[in-house]
Structure 1
């Protein structure tokens, strides 16, 4: 296990294209950090810099007590699980797991111990003599994880490992990865574009945008108190509603409790209530545009009076109103998120 420290990391490609700009991050020994952000935000580039698959243009990267900027991938004591499983098709599962250890000159009894332990942990013991083509996608991903596991590295790096699996299998594998990481206590850096995956796996989330860190924190910290407009819009599904302060003033609904400088107010869909709460709140009226049942919950799309931009409300169960019906929404004042559009940041007050 090892602490990973990134100090002002930069990656600039030929032609001056900046992929990563000034990333500083301290990953504690045994911590599970998830990098999340839209396509092209730099998350996979950053992971590959840690792995040694991308050169570092500037800054310092340490794994354990060593600066590894110029070390080859094989010398960094890390193991990586890729999006494509990258298994050797002509080898059995056993040999896929053992191959790297043999190359390192590990003794046969030790190879046998590590392979059998990994196979038992990942429940692939029955497949050790099969070739990858005889396995399902989930089984192949377990083999890929097993190949990383047998190396007993200081850190695991995961590059969107579940994106090729179907939805049900992704849920199952997500649980297995989290349980495995907690059991082993191995420092882990995980890249995904899937928000739910990020929220459920991470000890801390790192939201990236255009090669920079927007915010770092626990999943609930980022959900409950996003520090930038980007994080507010990116974390949470359905996305946070944004309503201009001018609209609230025009409707006589602008709360005096919001700090000076607020010109945009965020409201989570699940904080918009159909019944007035006992606590101080603001009320907004409109009409139901669309009802969207989604199993245990429903989404209601509402056009506010005097405002063309629809907002989303999330409620448990099935809605009782009809499309086109008048509706009044109530939002507790403590659930409002004040932002300033010029700075793109949360307003403190």
Structure 2
């Protein structure tokens, strides 16, 4: 196991296209860090640079005490798990697990020990003599993880490993990966565009945007205190409501709360909005759409004078119907302040 340190790392492609701007990131030994962001934000490129599958333009990448800039992927002592499993279809599960160890000249008894232990941990022992085509998607992903485990690498790198699975199986595999990482205590970097995966898996989240790091922290810290408009709108499902303060003041009438200087956009999480009456900024609007999501309902409300639809969350069944008028309150303590020009949080 080892820490991973990135200092001033940058990636520029031909034509002076910058995919990764100079960034710094330290990942502690045994930590699971999730890189999250929209498509094209640079998260997979950054992971591939750590793996050695992409060269870096500037900066240094260290794994443990070793600077690995010029090392080939095989020399970095890392193991990658891909979204397409990357299993050899003509080999059995056992042969897939053994393959890398055989190439390294690992003794036969040690190969058997590692393969049997990985199979036990991942509960794939009954499938060792099957071919990948005889397995389900979840079983194949377990084999792909097993192939990484037997290597006993310094770090695991996961590149959207669950994106090919259905929703139920993704949920099960999230639990498996988290349990496995906690058990093995192997430093791990995990790339996903799925917020739920990111929030539930990460010790720390790294939110990326346009090849830059927007914010780093524990998932609940980013949810409770987003550092920018981008993070506020990206983290959370449904996303935070972001409202121009001038329009809000014109609609609500009277004075606005005493927000920090420079605040021209206020944000509030949908689950913090109070349907009905209460203390705070009182508004009303028309329900355009209701999404029943099991134990809660998402209400999309159009407020006259606001360009964007507001999202409200009610626990249980919605108390109103589509096209109904609804009164609601934005509690002052739940408001977040942002500056539109800088895009940053204002405290």
Q: TM-score range by the shorter chain?
A: over 0.9
Please state whether the residue corresponding to 2:109 is helix, strand or coil.
helix
Shift of 1:324: 2.4
Shift of 1:234: 0.5
RMSD across aligned positions (CA):
1.1
Post-superposition Cα deviations, 1:273-314, rounded to whole Å, max 9, x if no partner, equal 11444xx52211222222221211101111113324211101
C-alpha separation between the residues in 2 aligned to 1:43 and 1:257? 38
C-alpha separation between the residues in 2 aligned to 1:27 and 1:326? 49
Shift of 1:148: 0.3
The more displaced of 71-80 and 298-307 is: 298-307
C-alpha separation between the residues in 1 aligned to 2:284 and 2:254? 11
Shift of 1:257: 2.2
CA separation of 1:308/1:55 partners in 2, compared to 1, >3 Å: closer, same or farther? closer
Gap regions ≥5 residues in structure 1: none
Residue 304 of structure 1 corresponds to which residue in structure 2? 303
The more displaced of 136-145 and 329-338 is: 329-338
Counterpart check, 1:273 vs 2:274: yes
The more displaced of 289-298 and 138-147 is: 289-298
Shift of 1:37: 0.4
Residue 324 of structure 1 corresponds to which residue in structure 2? 323
Gap regions ≥5 residues in structure 2: none
Counterpart check, 1:284 vs 2:277: no
TM-score normalized with structure 1 length: 0.97
Residue 112 of structure 2 corresponds to which residue in structure 1? 112
C-alpha separation between the residues in 1 aligned to 2:3 and 2:307? 50
Contact 2:89 2:133 in 1 (8 A): yes
Runs (4+) off by over 3 Å: none
Post-superposition Cα deviations, 1:237-275, rounded to whole Å, max 9, x if no partner, equal 111111111012213255332111111111110010114
The more displaced of 14-23 and 28-37 is: 14-23
C-alpha separation between the residues in 2 aligned to 1:175 and 1:224? 24
Aligned residues: 346
C-alpha separation between the residues in 2 aligned to 1:340 and 1:117? 53
TM-score normalized with structure 2 length: 0.98
Contact 1:94 1:128 in 2 (8 A): yes
Contact 1:92 1:131 in 2 (8 A): yes
Residues 62-77 of structure 1 mapped to structure 2, 5 A cutoff: 62-77=62-77
Contact 2:248 2:306 in 1 (8 A): no
Counterpart check, 1:252 vs 2:253: yes
C-alpha separation between the residues in 2 aligned to 1:41 and 1:147? 29
C-alpha separation between the residues in 1 aligned to 2:184 and 2:321? 52
C-alpha separation between the residues in 2 aligned to 1:218 and 1:78? 24
Residue 182 of structure 2 corresponds to which residue in structure 1? 182
Residue 262 of structure 1 corresponds to which residue in structure 2? 263
Contact 2:240 2:270 in 1 (8 A): yes
Shift of 1:328: 1.5
C-alpha separation between the residues in 1 aligned to 2:310 and 2:285? 10
Shift of 1:325: 2.1
C-alpha separation between the residues in 1 aligned to 2:134 and 2:325? 57
Residue 101 of structure 2 corresponds to which residue in structure 1? 101
CA separation of 1:106/1:253 partners in 2, compared to 1, >3 Å: closer, same or farther? farther
C-alpha separation between the residues in 1 aligned to 2:265 and 2:280? 17
Please state whether the residue corresponding to 1:346 is helix, strand or coil.
coil
Please state whether the residue corresponding to 1:9 is helix, strand or coil.
strand
CA separation of 1:152/1:254 partners in 2, compared to 1, >3 Å: closer, same or farther? farther
Please state whether the residue corresponding to 1:168 is helix, strand or coil.
helix
